[in-house]
Amino acid sequence: MSNARTLALTGLKAVLLEGRSLSAVQPALMQQCPAADRPLLHNLLLGVLRWKASLHALLMPLLKKPLKAKDQDLVLLLYLGLYQLHYMDAVPAHAAVNETVRLLPQKKRWARGLINAVLRNFARTDRATRQQWLGCCASACYSHPQWLIDRLQQDWPEQWQAILNANNANPPLTLRINPLKTDRDSYMALPEIQALAPQPHPLSDQAIVLKSAVDVRRLPGFDAGWFSVQDVAAQQAALILQPRPGERILDACAAPGGKTTHLQELAQNQAHIIALEKDGARINRLQENLHRLGLHAQVRQGDASTPDQWWDGEPFDHILLDAPCSATGIIRRHPDIKWHRTPEDIAALTTTQRAIVQALWPLLKPGGTLLYATCSVLAAENQQQMATFLESTADAQQLPIERLPPCGAPGSQILPGQQQMDGFYYCHVRKRP
């Protein structure tokens, strides 16, 4: 077992210096942390990643000269100290300084004086000075890369600031009750759940919103498959498709199976679902989730853009394409996304999305429907992508999504924070008979 701050620094190095994703490194770090310190570790990791550009703006005026490339680990150490001093009221300043200095590795003891001085000087600055430093530019103020702020401003001229603020807020934890095992009212009435102040959500009869994170494996019925963890925005996919028993459904990008399992819950476990996934490592989690929830699907490994390699020639009543995307709608849950993505990634993703939707369209029965979904808020991956598809596909007809507000272009966009949800885009298309 290691100390939460030591583990946080290890995690920050893996994410920010080695380019790994937070979701890949966080579970192992949590395992190594004493249970009582896990909330602190979670807060430090998410907090520093969320506020990285703001922490940078607070650090720069305190350094006489920037640290060398080989000392970027010290920059992370300073971010960790500054985060505690500026954003964590519960940590006394002396503890934030001393605990941070203690994290210095033996071979960097030479920096002890520097770390001490920077953090102590910062602790003495007043709020007005800090606000002035943070006001230097939009990137420091909103803690997002400038290119992403520019894109959001262009795509959402009225809402870009609300999106940036929502990306920096703590998300709720949302459960989706498995109606084949229990029901929402009974589950919410359990004393362990009552203690967490559960709220039903108006956009899904299965959703229970909890204000803050808990270890879901310790909630009643986890092993027995009474619920899944899924944001209400993601729950809209199956609710829009309304699958029925006996239908043939393709879930084209399926792992870890959040939407596959929801589709099957709504179809009373009697739909014929093919859950396709390209990444072999992610297929295990898909299988585990199906097993835990007691649901059936035929799991296949394959690339959705090359159906010749996995399709048996039987057309589908519905296709769900939860496309690989920038994930810019779920930055509040995965703040590392904003530092890892580049404008070049967005261009490459739009090409992949186009290839997949075009390859899957012929697999749909006449009269069948395809639901295109992303957890992105960028028009290039969403409205523009589907406008191009609809224009170039003679037998494609857009269906209205009555449960969500339209966005003035093809499909419906949920923006992060709206009704407590993640950012998600849906476009429902029917193949003319």
Residues catalogued as catalytic: 375
Beta carbon of residue 26, minimum distance to ligand SAM (angstroms, whole number): 18
Identify the CA nearest to 380 among candidates 367, 389, 370.
Answer: 389
What are the angstrom distances between the C-alpha of 287 and each of 215, 281, 282?
21, 11, 9
Q: Is the peptide bond before 256 cis (omega within 30 degrees of 0)?
A: yes
Nearer to ligand SAM, 43 or 235 (CB): 235
Nearer to ligand SAM, 163 or 283 (CB): 283
Beta carbon of residue 324, minimum distance to ligand SAM (angstroms, whole number): 4
Q: Which residues contact 117 (CB under 8 A, 6 or more apart)?
A: none
Q: Take residue 262 and report the two structure tokens written for it.
A: 């929801």
Beta carbon of residue 259, minimum distance to ligand SAM (angstroms, whole number): 4
Nearer to ligand SAM, 196 or 320 (CB): 320
Q: Report the C-alpha gap between 214 and 220 in whole angstroms.
A: 12
Q: Report the C-alpha gap between 38 and 17 in whole angstroms.
A: 23
Q: Report the C-alpha gap between 197 and 46 in whole angstroms.
A: 23
Beta carbon of residue 201, minimum distance to ligand SAM (angstroms, whole number): 17
Nearer to ligand SAM, 210 or 250 (CB): 250
Nearer to ligand SAM, 307 or 368 (CB): 307
Beta carbon of residue 48, minimum distance to ligand SAM (angstroms, whole number): 25
Q: In residues, how long is the chain?
A: 433
Asked if residues 254 and 266 have their Cβ atoms less than 8 Å apart, the reply is no
Residues facing 431 on adjacent strands: 396
Identify the CA nearest to 77 among candidates 112, 46, 40.
Answer: 112
Beta carbon of residue 149, minimum distance to ligand SAM (angstroms, whole number): 24
Beta carbon of residue 153, minimum distance to ligand SAM (angstroms, whole number): 25
Q: Report the C-alpha gap between 200 and 222 in whole angstroms.
A: 19
Nearer to ligand SAM, 130 or 428 (CB): 428
Q: Which residues contact 391 (CB under 8 A, 6 or more apart)?
A: none
Q: Which residues contact 96 (CB under 8 A, 6 or more apart)?
A: 81, 84, 85, 88, 119, 123
* Element holding 45 (H helix, E strand): helix 38-50
Asked if residues 387 and 336 have their Cβ atoms less than 8 Å apart, the reply is no
CA 76 to chain CA centroid, Å, is 23
Nearer to ligand SAM, 253 or 414 (CB): 253
- Contact residues for ligand SAM, defined by CB under 6 A: 234, 253-259, 276-279, 282, 303-305, 322, 324, 356
